[in-house]
Amino acid sequence: MYKKLSIVVPVYNEEKNIDSFLKRTISTLDKINLKYEVIFVLDPSTDKTEEIILEKIQQNKNIRLISLSRRFGQPAATMAGIHNISGDLCVIIDADLQDPPEIIYEMYNKILEGNDVVYAKRVKRKGETFFKKIISKLGYKIIEKISEVKIPRDTGDYRIITKKIIDKLKDLKETNAFLRGLVAFVGFKQTFVEYERDERKDGKSKYNKYFGSLKIAFNGIVGFSSKPLFLMSIMGFIFAIISFLIGVYYIYQKITNPLITPGLSSTILIITFFAGIQLLGLGLLGEYIGRIYDEVKNRPNFIIDKKYNFEERE
C-alpha cells in the first residue's frame, strides 16, 4: 500500500562516509520492493561532501541534493528534507553509519504491521565516552520525568514515519524544532526496533565530545515542558520560608543575647545565596522569553540555496 520511500540525510563534512553510506543503504532498499529517493540535505561543508554527492547523482537518478544557504544545523537540515520529499514513507538517518541502514528493512516490516512511526532504539553505545553516556542517560531521565509528551529513551532521529506523520510535522512550524519531541507529540501508532549503535565510520562528530547534544537535550526540556518555571516558583517559596525562619532566629538572638555582634559573614552569605537563586530564576524565565521571541519573529528554520535532481521526479 505504500509506494515510495524517501530517505532524508542531513550532512555536514561527511566526504568519507557518503560512498559506503549509499552502498549499504541502497542494497537494503533493493530488498524492499518500493520506489525510493535518497535526499541529502547539505549544511555547506568545508570538505568535498557536495562534489561527491553531485557525482553520485550522475550515477543514480534516485539521489537528490538540497544545499542550504548556510549551516543551519542538523535539526533544521532534517526539516528541510522532510518538506521536500515525495514518498509516502520517510526514513531519517545520519550519514556517518552510526545508524546501520540495514535495519530499515526491519523498520519497514513494522510499518507494514500497521505502525505509523518506527524508531530505532539503541541497546548499546559503542565508541562513546563514559561521560557522554552518563550525560545522555541523565538528560533522557530528566526529559522523561518532566516532559509533557513521552519522548522515547535511547533514540536519536533515526526512524521511519508514514505520510500521516509527515503531514502533521509539516504543519508544526516551531522555530526550535526538536524532531524526537515533535514526532512523539504527533502521536499515532508508534513502536521501535532495537539495534547496536556503531562507532562513527569516518570523520569527527560535529558535536562537542562531552556536552555535545546538550543544546538539543535542553531544547527538548524547555520546548516540551513548562515545569522548570513551576519549579522556580516552588523553590522561591521554600527559600522565602527558610529566610523568614532565619530572620526570626536572628531577632530571637538579638533579644536574648544583646551583646552578640551580628555576623557580617552570615549576612553576605544570605545575600549572595538569594541573589544566586534569583539569577537562576531570571535566567530560566529569559530562556522561555527568548523562545517566545524566536517564535514571534517567525523566521524560516532553513533557507534553501539549490536543489539538484528534483526536476524529473516521479
Q: Is 259 exposed, middle or buried (0-12, 13-18, 19+ CB in 10 A)?
A: exposed
Map residues 197-226 to x or -, x wherever contact with Mg ion holds by CB under 5 A: ---x--------------------------
Which has the closest alpha carbon to 99: 165, 181, 194, 191?
194
Least distance to ligand UDP, CB of residue 42, Å: 8
Partner whose footprint covers residue 218, from ligand UDP, Mg ion, none (CB < 5 to 8 Å by kind):
none
Using CB under 6 A as the binding criterion, the count of chain residues that bind ligand UDP stands at 19
Least distance to ligand UDP, CB of residue 211, Å: 12
Residue 104's φ and ψ, nearest 5 degrees, are -55, -35
Q: How many residues does the chain have?
A: 314
Q: Evaluate whether 151 touches 143 at the Cβ level (below 8 Å).
A: yes
136 binds ligand UDP (CB under 6 A): no
3-state secondary structure of 201: coil
Please state at what angle helix 227-256 crosses helix 264-297, rounded to 10 degrees.
160
Partner whose footprint covers residue 176, from Mg ion, ligand UDP, none (CB < 5 to 8 Å by kind):
none
220 binds ligand UDP (CB under 6 A): no
Give strand pairing partners of 120.
193
9, 11, 15, 19 alpha-carbon torsion, rounded to 10° = 0
Q: Which is nearer to ligand UDP, 181 or 232 (CB)?
A: 181
94 binds ligand UDP (CB under 6 A): yes
52 binds ligand UDP (CB under 6 A): no
Q: Which is nearer to Mg ion, 56 or 197 (CB)?
A: 197
77 binds ligand UDP (CB under 6 A): yes
Which range in 51-59, 205-213, 228-236, 292-300 contacts ligand UDP by CB under 6 A? 205-213
Please report, as a single letter, which amino acid is at residue 268.
I
* Given 43, 50, 96, 128, the residue binding Mg ion (CB under 5 A): 96
15 binds ligand UDP (CB under 6 A): no
All three cell numbers of 175: 522555530
Please report, as a single letter, which amino acid is at residue 188.
F
Cβ count near 70 (within 10 Å): 9
**Residue numbers of the site for ligand UDP (CB under 6 A)?**
10-12, 14, 43, 71, 73-74, 77, 94-96, 98, 200, 205-207, 212-213
